[in-house]
Amino acid sequence: MRVADMVHSSKIYGPGKRTVVWLQGCSIRCDNCWNDELWSFKGGRFMMNHEIIQHVETHCDEGITLLGGEPLDQPKRVLQFIEHAQSLGINVLLYTGYELHELSKIQSQCVELADIVIHGRYMHELRSLNLLWRGSTNQEILINNEKFRDIDLTEKRQMEVHIDSMGQTKVVGYPTEELVESVSLLNGKMKSFKLDGDRVEV
Ligand code: SF4
């Protein structure tokens, strides 16, 4: 799959401890999209399924979240990836900006197979930072795996700070400007940030 970014051991993009993968490329192009740097199908880098799975296993994550970009713009690869991950006991949360009635056969297969799906366009006029896993109130959570039927779906604003082995710091989710600036100051940087994405490098 064409991958733009990845974080590990996240607890805000689905249940449990997860690897989160932002896929590169989106043909939907919602107005005021937060991740428009992920629209191009030329960016990112191609990763084989087993390479991504290796990251999940190295960090002992229970699940993987695919978001974007638009995962279902690479449906064949995503379907193979979901099958591969689940065969190893790794659950998959899939984001898509498509509405369910718009899906092709193979895209529908991805949605039916994933353990949890967040679906629907991002609508800027319905944007809220206080939603669980979603960016706008029209988006819906579909739970396919019985194991997750009773998970806590209380709406909440969530954010995380990730520091990789190279010392690179990233704030993900829906952080406050205060949090991002505090992390930046701790890193010895004096910088102001425009919070218009769900990933900020600080
Ligand atoms: S919000 Fe998601 S589906 Fe919509 S344009 Fe942005 S990346 Fe694509």
Tens digit of each residue's pLDDT (9 = 90 or more) over 58-77: 999 999 999 989 999 999 99
Q: Which two tokens stand for residue 122?
A: 């991002």
Q: Which residue has the higher pLDDT, 180 or 171?
A: 171
Q: What is the pLDDT of residue 194?
A: 58
Cα dihedral 128/130/136/137 (nearest 10): -110
Place of tokens 């974007």: 68
Q: What lines the ligand 1 site, CB under 6 Å?
A: 26, 28-30, 33, 35, 38, 68-70, 97, 122
pLDDT at 192 exceeding the cut of 70: no
Q: Which of ligand 1's atoms lies nearest the C-alpha of 69?
A: 7
Strand ranges (E), the chain: 2-10, 18-23, 45-46, 63-67, 91-96, 116-119, 140-143, 159-163, 169-173, 199-201
Q: Which residue has the higher pLDDT, 103 or 157?
A: 103
Residues 98-118: what's their mean pLDDT? 98
Quote the DSSP letter at residue 136: B
CA of 186 to the centre of ligand 1 (A): 32
Q: Which residue has the higher pLDDT, 192 or 117?
A: 117
Q: What is the pLDDT of residue 183?
A: 78
**Domains along the chain with CATH numbers:** 2-154 (3.20.20.70), 158-202 (no CATH)
CA of 142 to the centre of ligand 1 (A): 18
Q: Which two tokens stand for residue 201?
A: 């490098």
pTM for the model stands at 0.92
6 vs 99: CA distance, rounded Å? 25
Q: Which of 36, 122, 133, 196 to mutate to test the pocket of ligand 1 (most atoms within 8 A of CB)?
A: 122
